[in-house]
Amino acid sequence: ISYKYIPGKLLSDVQNKLIFKKFLKFCYKNLWNENYKKFNYKFELENLSSACLKFYKNKTYKRVQEYLEKYKVEDKISIINNQKIPKTAELLSMINWKDICDPHPVLFHGDLQPENIIFTKKNFFRLIDWREDFGGLQILGDLYYDLAKLHHALIVNGKIIRENKFKIDIKNDKVYFKIKKRTHLIKYLNELENFVKQKNWSLKKLRIMSSLIYLNIAVLHHYP
C-alpha cells in the first residue's frame, strides 16, 4: 500500500488548539454523520451490533487472556500508584456491554490517533493508516471507536513511548508508574471531551472505550 506524499505535520506535533478544534469539525463533516447513507449500507447496519460485540467484548477478553498467558502473570488485585485496583476480570464484569456494543453508525477510520493525521501546508487534513474493516464490515463502524482511538492517544502519545519517557517500578506486588504527558495534547483531550458533551454523546462510554483500547493493545507491546 502506498500514499501520495503530502507535505505537512503530524497533528500530534501541531501546537494549536484552534487547529485541533478545526479537525474535530472536519471529522464531524466527513465521518461522524450520516454520510454512510450514500453507500450500500443496510446489510452492514443490520450486522453492526454483532460486529461491536465481537470487536469490543469478545476481542477484549481474548486479548486479556493472551496477555496473562504470554507474560505468565496472575489476574489479581493490584496496588497501582497507591490505589487498590480490582482484578481485570472483575472490572470487565462491571461493564454494561449492552450499552458499549450499542453502535452509533458512521463511516470509520479505525485508528484515528494524532500520528495518523497530517495537517498540510494548505490547511487541510489528510488521514493515513486506515483500518481495513470493522469487525468484518467495510463501510460502517462505530463512532465511539474512532473517538476512543483519538482519546487514548492524547493521554499516552506514541512519541513519548518511543522515547522511553516513562518510569515503572514494581516492588512487593505494588506498581508505581509515571509517564510524561505532552501539554498541548492534554489541552486537545479537554477539547475532545467538551466536543463530545456538546454533541450529547456519552463521555462515560468514550472513557470506557478508551480504557478498553489500552487493554487490547497491551499484549501487542513488548516489556515494559
* The pLDDT value given to residue 221: 86
Q: What percent of the chain clears pLDDT 70, i.e. is strictly above it?
A: 100
Give 107-135 pLDDT, tens digit per residue: 999 999 999 999 998 899 999 999 999 99
- Please report the sign of the dihedral spanned by the C-alpha atoms of residue 19, residue 109, residue 142, residue 53: negative
| Average pLDDT score over residue span 15-20 | 97
3-class SS letters over the chain: CCCCCCCEEEHHHCCCHHHHHHHHHHHHHHCCCCHHHHCCCHHHHHHHHHHHHHHHHHHHHHHHHHHHHHHCCCCCCEEECCEEECCHHHHHHCCCHHHHCCCCEEECCCCCCHHHEEEECCCCEEECCCCCCECCECCEEEHHHHHHHHHHHHHCCHHHHHCCCEEEEEECCEEEEEECCCHHHHHHHHHHHHHHHHCCCCHHHHHHHHHHHHHHHHCCCCCC
- Give pLDDT tens digits for 18-58: 999 999 999 999 999 999 999 999 999 999 999 999 999 99
Mean pLDDT for the chain overall: 95
- In this predicted structure, the answer to whether residue 224 has a pLDDT above a threshold of 70 is no
Report, as an integer, the average pLDDT of 7-16: 96
Nearest in space to 206 (alpha carbons), one of 112, 137, 131, 135: 112
